[in-house]
Amino acid sequence: MTPCFNWFEVAYYWMGLKMYDLVAARHILHLSRYYSVQESIELFPTLARKGKDKSLRGTVVYYDGQMNDSRLNVGLACSAALAGAAVLNHAEVISFLKDEGSERIIGAKIRDNLSGQEFETYAEVVVNAAGPFCDSVRKMANKDAQPMICPSSGVHVVLPDYYSPEGMGLIVPKTKDGRVVFMLPWLGRTVAGTTDSNTSITALPEPHEDEIQFILDAICDYLNVKVRRTDVLSAWSGIRPLAMDPTAKNTESISRDHVVCEDFPGLVTITGGKWTTYRRIIFSMAEDAVNAAIKSGKLSPRNECITGNLRLVGGDGWESSSFTVLAQQYVRMKKTHGGKVVPGVMDTASAKHLSHAYGTLAERVATIAQNETLGKRLAHGYPYLEAEVAYCARNEYCESAIDFIARRSRLAFLDTDAAGRALPRIIEILAKEHNWDRSRQKQEMQKAREFLETFKSSKNAQFHDGKHK
């Protein structure tokens, strides 16, 4: 919902969102509409009735989709593997192989970052989709390559669930200093953001304390409760790889659309863009990149693009009521501290979580929870089960503790302390799955703890008025 503090705002946002409804046409989830102050407070109890010097006149509510990006990403990789792709995890391109005569890129040298082993692989064409790192990959082809992206840092903070009601978020398209802030329900908690500031590219960007404070202050202006710093369960920073217009002065004026180019023969780079556009019906990031690769490598595809109607793994046969089957048919067998095995119910929260995260494959996770006594929750207050660690290790290329807490589940992003408390059990299960010795287990614990530290703030203030200095 968008809060409006004068009638002009009501008319402006209402008309804007009606246009949005029209553009969405048959893809629309629900029609947008105006709610009075009283109705708005009923829908969103923590919404402020008064702004700094003006009163709320009502809200305009519109509907949008939300997804779990780590689950979608893993679903994509697993679907690609099922369709015949060779999927490599923790493998890094470290240099390119060139044809001696034509200088065309004909392959890459790759390092397996788990074993440290290096190997070469050959291809008709190489696609560089390295996000914020795409320029460093282009520099491997040509050390004088001009930058194509302008990295922009975006910080998010996670707060307890009570700040936003289920199914309803708050978005302020223009705060008093002209920026967007939002607060949305996300995976059982509330996520608030975001910043958009110039940054440098690092592998593990950290949120700065002043960025966190900026978000908290911005949302506080629209709530009738104080948002305390101590309520922040996790905070993280991501880098948006915005495609660069060399004449632009700031990141707000840089295009969020993607750019595809082949500025070095044999290397197609795709950068910019968003999740929203990766499989858009027209000008899709994936399709544009594949078409450029077909052209560059003079490839002869056997068929037209089929992914428009392709369901990802676990999607076929899934229905929003599928979780009830899990709740009815499975129990969670748990080992108590004394070593006794006891049955527990597959409660609604766990069943819903499994169904949303794994689709129809949730039944396989539930079977592990039942048959292998891995039915305990990994962290108090979160629906993640021990069985998921085993399932992800066996079926989803989960090779490290960080893989699980950040890239299979979202526990590290939801609650840093809860993720830290779950680590010993996660590592114990992964050790069994992958035959890790004691030293590897110790190493995993240390790396995961260091990783979790990046979800707390770094105190260095570099952020003023939304811009890094």
Among positions 129, 267, 286, 368, the unique one binding ligand FAD when judged by CB under 6 A: 129
Q: How far is the CB of 240 from ligand FAD (least distance, A)?
A: 4
Looking at beta carbons only, is 73 or 213 nearer to ligand FAD?
A: 73
Dihedral, 338, 351, 395, 303 alpha carbons, nearest 10? 180
For ligand FAD, the closer CB: 274 or 442:
274
Q: Is 238 a residue that touches ligand FAD (CB under 6 A)?
A: yes
The stretch among 77-85, 123-131, 320-328, 368-376 that binds ligand FAD (CB under 6 A) is 123-131
> Is the CB of 162 or the CB of 275 nearer to ligand FAD?
275
Q: Does 314 bind ligand FAD (CB under 6 A)?
A: no
User: In the bound complex, what is the minimum distance in angstroms from residue 378's beta carbon to ligand FAD?
Assistant: 24
Nearer to ligand FAD, 215 or 390 (CB): 215
Q: Is 207 in the site for ligand FAD (CB under 6 A)?
A: no
CB of 167 to ligand FAD, least distance (A): 18
283: contact with ligand FAD by CB under 6 A: no
Token pair recorded at residue 398: 């989960």
Check binding of 191 to ligand FAD (CB under 6 A). no
* Least distance to ligand FAD, CB of residue 114, Å: 14
CB of 66 to ligand FAD, least distance (A): 9
In our burial notation (b when 16+ CB lie closer than 10 A, e otherwise), range 233-256 reads bbbbbbbbbbbbeeeeeebeebee
Q: Which is nearer to ligand FAD, 189 or 377 (CB)?
A: 189
Angle between helices 362-371 and 348-358 (to 10 degrees): 130
- Provide, rounded to whole angstroms, the least separation between the CB of residue 92 and ligand FAD: 4
Closer to ligand FAD by Cβ: residue 92 or 161: 92
Tokens of 162: 């009570």
Give, as ranges, the residues between 368 and 427 that touch ligand FAD (CB under 6 A): none
Tokens 């840093």 locate to: 416
Smallest separation, CB 276 to ligand FAD (Å) = 4
Angle CA(62)–CA(466)–CA(236) in degrees, nearest 5? 75
Closer CB to ligand FAD, 136 or 367, in the complex: 136
Q: Name which position in 58, 131, 169, 375 contacts ligand FAD (CB under 6 A).
A: 131
Shortest reach from residue 37's CB to ligand FAD, in Å: 29
Shortest gap between Cβ of 347 and ligand FAD (angstroms)? Answer: 30
Tokens matching residue 3: 């809060």
Q: Which is nearer to ligand FAD, 68 or 367 (CB)?
A: 68
Under rule CB under 6 A, residue 273 binds ligand FAD: yes
Cβ closest to ligand FAD, residue 56 vs residue 140: 140
Closest to ligand FAD by CB, 215 vs 378, is: 215
Q: Which of 49, 139, 176, 274 binds ligand FAD (CB under 6 A)?
A: 274
Question: Which residues sit opposite 107 in a β-bridge?
Answer: 97, 122
Virtual torsion, Cα 82, 85, 91, 96, nearest 10 deg? -170
What does the alpha-carbon distance between residue 401 and residue 388 come to, in Å, rounded to a whole number? 12
Query: Does residue number 216 form part of the binding site for ligand FAD (CB under 6 A)?
Result: no
Amino acid letter, residue 412: A
Identify which of residues 242 and 354 has a Cβ nearer to ligand FAD in the complex.
242
On whether the CB atoms of residues 427 and 444 are closer than 8 A, the answer is: yes
Q: Which stretch binds ligand FAD (CB under 6 A): 116-124, 232-240, 379-387, 389-397?
A: 232-240
Tokens 């700031």 sit on residue? 250
Give the phi and the psi of residue 251 in degrees, each rounded to 5.
Answer: -70, -25
324 upstream amide cis, omega within 30 of 0: no
Q: What is the C-alpha separation between 160 and 230, in angstroms, rounded?
A: 11
Of these, 10, 37, 51, 92, which contacts ligand FAD (CB under 6 A)?
A: 92
Chain-centre distance of CA 68, in angstroms? 6
Distances (CA, A) of 4 to 138, 172, 174, 238, 452: 46, 9, 11, 30, 38
**3-class SS of residue 372:** coil
Q: Token digits for 117?
A: 């082993």
Q: Is 198 helix (H, G, I), strand (E, B) or coil?
A: strand
Q: Which long-range contacts (CB under 8 A, 24 or more apart) does 111-118 make?
A: 112/88, 114/90, 114/399, 114/400, 118/94
Q: Measured between alpha carbons, how far is 347 from 324 in angstroms, rounded to an integer?
A: 10
**Residue numbers at the binding site for ligand FAD (CB under 6 A):** 92-93, 129-133, 137, 154, 194, 238-241, 273-276
